Copies of this chain bind each other. A is one copy, B any other.
Amino acid sequence: MSTDLAPALDLDALRDRVDTVLAESLRRPPASVPSERGRAGELTQALTDFVLAPGKRIRPLLCVLGWHAAGGDDGEETLWRTAASLEVFHAFALIHDDIIDGSPTRRGRPSAHRAFAARHRARPDADTVGVHAAILLGDLALICSNALLNTAGLDNRQRDAVLPLLDAMRGEVLLGQHMDLMATGRPTDDVEKAMTIARLKTAKYTIERPLQLGAALAGADRRLLSLCSAYALPLGEAFQMRDDLLGVFGDPALTGKPVLEDLRAGKATVLMALATRHATSEQRRTLDALVGRADLSEDDAARIRHILQHTGARETVERMITERYEQALRALDDGPLAPEIATALRKIAARAVVRTT
């Protein structure tokens, strides 16, 4: 395709810029970010540490790309602060999610509630205090994300275009987390529900809304916002299904996430729903007995992996990922995007779907 020859936006340079803006935003936070007797307290310091830990920054990146896609060229400060606010919002989502999932680690480091528990290990109730401090840390992240946006300098047109998308995004991820919480714990063959959760928690939250937000900020019309969805929704589903595969078959040394975690939690993934649906009755009994057990052993995990493989679930999910990946790329071909934007979005798509971490 001719577009492959177009000059590309340097995604790594954009991500570095996101990191710089994040560091600045948190070093000179809005006046509303609490400080205790003049100095940053434990909570603010923990938020800075959490947000600045290395990450993919996929939501801010997509926001920046959406803005370029809509021909944004000035008002950069507003763009970058908006993009940064998405990453701080994401910190909120991760911190509370890790409490709910009981995840001990995040990006290879202790998760927020474990880090607080370690810091207060002298207290007899250190684990509980850790969870409670992490609830407040997540709340602070959400509040700071808002304060960042409130001071981003959006004009009236931008506010009218962006705030409904932002409110929608927040509601969607919350609903997804609640459905996830309620579905977690035992295997189910409800593929459609697992896909709905993936769509809310990942496709809309991680890909579609950030891209649309950036585009709306730069004045995108309805057609461009639809193109964003046509690219983002299949890609986001594929992204989540890749995550699900990595959660069971991935290398913990690369993902930074214990490989038994999803199985022990009994996450309602499309992968597991397909396996449950196509399992023999003996395989079904094994899944019922093992998935969701907190004391799941490596051997148990191997038996589950065997079933995921032999029911064809793993292969089906790989095929679904490929189909959705291709669907996302086709959406780009049909659209009015500048070649360098389309190229960057293709790169993002490839990174989201073909990856080991």
Q: Which residues of A contact B (CB under 8 A)?
A: 30-36, 41-43, 92, 96, 99-100, 123, 125, 129, 132-133, 135-136, 138-140, 142-143, 146-147, 150, 156, 163-164, 167-172, 174-175, 177-179, 181-182, 185
Contact = CB atoms under 8 A, between A and B. Distances in A.
A125 to B, nearest CB: 7
Given A41-B175, A135-B96, A135-B100, A143 B167 contact: yes
Contacts of A133: 178, 181-182
For the complex formed by this chain, how many copies does it contain in all?
2
15 contacts: A33-B171, A34-B171, A34-B178, A36-B179, A41-B179, A43-B174, A132-B181, A133-B178, A135-B135, A136-B181, A140-B171, A146-B170, A147-B170, A150-B163, A150-B164
A340 B277 CA distance: 69
Which 8 residue pairs across A and B have the least CB separation, nearest first? A34-B175, A32-B167, A32-B171, A147-B167, A34-B171, A100-B132, A143-B170, A150-B163
A353 B287 CA distance: 60
Given A42-B182, A125-B185, 13 more contacts: A33-B171, A34-B172, A36-B179, A41-B179, A99-B135, A129-B181, A133-B181, A135-B135, A138-B139, A139-B174, A140-B171, A143-B167, A150-B167
A135 B132 CA distance: 10
A194 B83 CA distance: 38
B43 A164 contact: no
